[in-house]
Amino acid sequence: MIFRLCTAVAIVLLSTALNAQDQAQLARAMTAVRAVMAPALPFPASDELGSMPADGKSEAPWMIKPVQPGERTIEVLANPLNEAHQRSAARAMAQIDQSITAAQRRADVQYELAVAEAKRTGRSQEVDGVTLNDEGLAGARIDAESHVIVEVAFADTPSRQVTTSTTPPGPYRDDSGVERFREAGATVSAGPLVITLRGNETLIAALLNKSDWNRLLELLK
């Protein structure tokens, strides 16, 4: 009994030590990634929710949500106080309103036809309502262009040099035929890390071009 108890305690202590080691490794990796990306991200911090600049007044185009311990993502968000982003959001909202109005009209016609059919046959029919999908491409596009999410993961097989790949943004249809908008994306393999970026195409390009990825290899040695 005593042997089993000691073994269980030893396993818990070893697990805790390994977890602490993993956390320290992740913290070191996140610090290194943030350091090499700094030239492309000269922007202020946001509040904890990522809704406003932390100082409540910055008009920089972007803001960076504080990274919490243990997190593997860096979120760069459009600053709602920035005039250019406000104009983009206003244009998108106008297009979204048009799409929703058209969807509401279709739903009203469908409802009237369903009521008439129910009176004629006595059988009810399902009617499609207005959903988020009815915002159209404008809603999906503004969502994609208003952030960049940087995800950091450890590679199964570390690379010996820096490699990058990109995916352009654009509309597509999912398996059900609904038209959606694909975010721009990029993947950077650097030493033991795989860094995935998705969101605003222009900011992703800046991150790829201005970040010193070779320095990342040095920082992770």
Listed by start position, the domains of the chain span: 24-219
The predicted pLDDT at position 133 comes to 55
Number of alpha carbons in the 13 Å side-chain half-sphere of residue 197:
27
- Say what the pLDDT of residue 126 is: 61
pLDDT of the residue at 166: 96
Which pLDDT score is estimated for 85?
A: 82
Give the number of C-alpha atoms closer than 13 A to the C-alpha of residue 100, restricted to the C-beta side.
12
pLDDT under 50: residue ranges of the chain = 3, 5-18, 130, 132, 134
Please give the pLDDT value at position 21. 79
In angstroms, the CA 158 to CA 18 distance is 20
pLDDT for 12:
45
Q: How far apart are CA 30 and CA 159, in angstroms?
A: 18
Residue range 86-110, pLDDT digits in tens: 888 777 676 666 666 666 676 665 6
